[in-house]
Structure 1
Amino acid sequence: MRTNLDFSPLFRSSIGFERMLNALETASRAETVDNWPPYDIVKTGDDEYRIAMAVAGFSREELAITQEQNMLIVSGQKTDSEDVQYLHRGIAARFQRQFELADHVKVVDAGLVNGLLTIGLKHEMPEQLKPRQIEIATVQARPKAEPKPIEAGKHAA
């Protein structure tokens, strides 16, 4: 039994969290029938991650890794030879796997060794978004204003 969650109350009371709430809503609706190719996501440091994906049978030329804004797309397409007649085809000839990335996560490297595709990711916070120390300056006291003398001859009514 699957329960669909309603995130609309959160949309009404939060500002700036639309992307996260949309991701939660999408994840709650997602079907998990597509489980090939198998993969691992590992946190290797404070701001570093690695995706390891088993892509046995695919060569480097048949794989593509694309990063579009906050989406990482890994795809593979085998080149078919026209002169082969299959009686049964159970080995995948193509795939596409998508990973949603947080803001400022960049792909730093990728490698293919023994059928294992490894993609290195790093969360690189821009300098303007990093916390910074604000120096407190010493402020000299202002001289007190001298009271102005009341002019003689002018009286209040």
Structure 2
Amino acid sequence: MSRVPSLSSPFLLGFDQLERVLDRVTKAADGYPPYNIERIAGENGAPDRLRITLAVAGFTREQLDVTVEESQLTIRGRQQDDGEGRTFIHRGIAARQFQRVFVLADGMEVMGADLKNGLLSIDLARPEPERIVRRIDIAAHD
């Protein structure tokens, strides 16, 4: 059975890449670590920013990795199990790894990342694009 694309309108040309991105995003359903996304109003005419905040309690700065490749923001956390030589009566805090991926729209820039009180905040901005109007000449075949 062939798959019918969800963006199959004849007016949406060249959106195959977008459809693949949407498929990839919907498959990433792991809920760890929890996160917030908030809009922060720009000041003095600056454009609005977005802030992604992840709850990464127990991770140090060295155990976290934030990368941008093409249009994908990836946050990874790697903890080593330091339980050797220790006797736990109850162990509810597991050393675990995670990877959280966000797909960025064209033009989105990562402004920076900050780790404070177990919260990793990543600020994003999209500079206003320059509006370009280009006239297309029509060729005459007489």
User: TM-score, normalized by length of structure 2?
Assistant: 0.72
Report the Cα offset of residue 94 of structure 1.
1.2
Which of the pair has more CA radius of gyration? 1
- Could you list the per-position Cα deviations for residues 68-119 of structure 1 after superposition, in whole angstroms to 9, with x for gaps in the alignment? 0111100111133343466645434211111111111111011011001000
Candidates 3, 12, 15, aligned match of 1:14: 12
**2:105 & 2:69 partners in 1: Cα distance?**
12
Does the 8 A contact of 1:55 with 1:115 survive in 2?
Answer: yes
After the TM superposition, list the runs of 4 or more consecutive aligned residues in structure 1 that deviate by more than 6 angstroms.
Answer: none
Letter aligned with residue 131 of structure 1: R
**1:114 & 1:53 partners in 2: Cα distance?**
11
**1:104 & 1:85 partners in 2: Cα distance?**
51
**1:132 & 1:12 partners in 2: Cα distance?**
25
Total equivalences in the alignment? 125
- Structure 1: runs of 5 or more not aligned: 135-157
CA RMSD in angstroms comes to: 2.9
**2:7 & 2:97 partners in 1: Cα distance?**
40
**2:28 & 2:107 partners in 1: Cα distance?**
27
**1:37 & 1:118 partners in 2: Cα distance?**
13
Structure with more relative contact order (C-alpha pairs < 8 Å, separation 6 or more): 2
**2:9 & 2:23 partners in 1: Cα distance?**
11
1:75 maps to 2:76: yes
**1:120 & 1:31 partners in 2: Cα distance?**
21
Q: What residue number does 1:39 align with?
A: 35
Give the match's secondary structure for 2:53.
Answer: strand
**1:58 & 1:117 partners in 2: Cα distance?**
10
Sequence identity, in percent?
Answer: 34
**1:131 & 1:70 partners in 2: Cα distance?**
22
- Structure 2: runs of 5 or more not aligned: 42-46, 135-142
Report the Cα offset of residue 26 of structure 1.
3.8
